[in-house]
Amino acid sequence: MINIQYIDSINAIDKALWNNTVNADYPFLQHQFLQALEDSGAVTTEKGWQPNHGLIYDDERLIGIIPLYFKSHSYGEYVFDFEWANAYHRNQLQYYPKLLSAIPYTPATGPRLCLIAPYDNAETVSAVCEHLIQYAQQHRLSSCHILFSDPHQSSQLKDGGLSQRRAVHFQWHNKQYRDFDHYLSTFNARKRKNCRKERRCLAQQQLSVEYFNGDQIDDQLWRQFGQFYQATYAKRSGHGGYLPVEFFSQLGRNMADSIVLMTARGRHGIIAGALYFKDATTLYGRYWGCAEEFDNLHFELCYYQGIEYCINHKLQRFDPGVQGEHKIQRGFEPNYTYSNHWLAHPSFAEAIDNFLQQESPHIEQYKADCEQYLPFKSVLNSAE
């Protein structure tokens, strides 16, 4: 019989047991990553992320896990439901707290509900959905949300009673490119020329690029990168970002094999960095910071270096993060991402289902429009 037990910290379960149940090298669901978020203070009840991870059992056998949080706001999620919360407020209803399955501050598609074989089937997913809904009702939560799961599981969650929502993010796909020049040869002439011009900018500004694998990053470099990240976040948003410096250094100690740091060096030392994560097939661009602004430095460290790394290391995909239509002209293709949602209030649930149905064709049209602006020779570019 399927049941779920809840723990209020990732440290309440053995690392090997958690990771073996996840059974994937996707970095953001590893025990070490979630532990760094909690231990560093990036994820706490006071920050609006109260851990409440679900351990899924068949009688006494652990058969699955799902990362879960009680959320008291919607920041750091990247599937925007602020208007839903505002609608609740206008009707004198409480939207928060809500139950959320997501990786904090990490809008990267990957495992969410992890079930071992032979339990990784639609029947078990449906049973877990039923349990989560009952749990939300018992705790008087407004809703339950599962963000950035893969398309197959999102469809299973939809069948289990959680409405599906789509969005468009931009990702790069490796089509067996030999090197970066081979990749650029697939561009039309104008976009290829622009890309080469952008890449030349670093040398013209007397900057050089080097990258470090996780085990090559010492404490001083971690502190330096953390300061870059916080300073850049502060310029953009007025606060120093979601993540303290200790978060990065703890990752360096515990997840070195999953980390690559791209840096730019000027005349007086390292002045910028872009931190990537990787698994067997995919590179994930996550965090960026700089001490000084230089032309096209962000594009080089966060996009071009990532593409080059994927080509050289034969990775299939590069997920650079959310938003940014500027990625399109550099060869990042529009892809659907998925989230699933259940709302307790019947009228609001019906209204949001109607909204999702009305939103869907607009998302499809947006994806199609974006495809017209890709730089590849085989695509008719209406901007030419």
* pLDDT tens for the 384 residues of the chain, in order: 999 999 999 999 999 999 999 999 999 999 999 999 999 999 999 999 999 999 999 999 999 999 999 999 999 999 999 999 999 999 999 999 999 999 999 999 999 999 999 999 999 999 999 999 999 999 999 999 999 999 999 999 999 999 999 999 999 999 999 999 999 999 999 999 999 999 999 999 999 999 999 999 999 999 999 999 999 988 878 888 899 999 999 999 999 999 999 999 999 899 999 999 999 999 999 899 999 999 999 999 999 999 999 999 999 999 998 878 999 999 999 999 999 999 999 999 999 999 999 999 999 999 999 999 999 997 444 343
Local structure of residue 347 (DSSP, 8 states)? H
> CATH 3.40.630.30: does it fit domain 175-315?
yes
**Other residues' Cβ atoms within 10 Å of the Cβ of residue 268:** 8
Domain range list for the chain: 2-168+335-371, 175-315
Rounded to 10 degrees, the C-alpha dihedral 250/253/256/262 comes to 60
Structure tokens at 339: 């989230």
Closest CA to 135 of 51, 79, 70: 70
Contact 76, 105 (CB under 8 A): yes
CB 171 within 8 A of CB 318: yes
Bridge-partner residues for 273, per DSSP?
Answer: 263, 289
Hey, do 2-168+335-371 and 175-315 end up sharing a CATH topology, with the first three levels equal? yes
CATH superfamily placement of domain 2-168+335-371: Gcn5-related N-acetyltransferase (GNAT) (3.40.630.30)
Is-contact 38 9, C-beta < 8 A? yes
Residue 79 carries which DSSP code? S
Based on the number of CB atoms within 10 Å of its own CB, is 349 exposed (0-12), middle (13-18) or buried (19 or more)? Answer: middle
pTM of the shown model: 0.95
3-state DSSP assignment of residue 285:
strand
Sheet holding 53-58, edge to edge: 2-7, 53-58, 61-66, 114-115
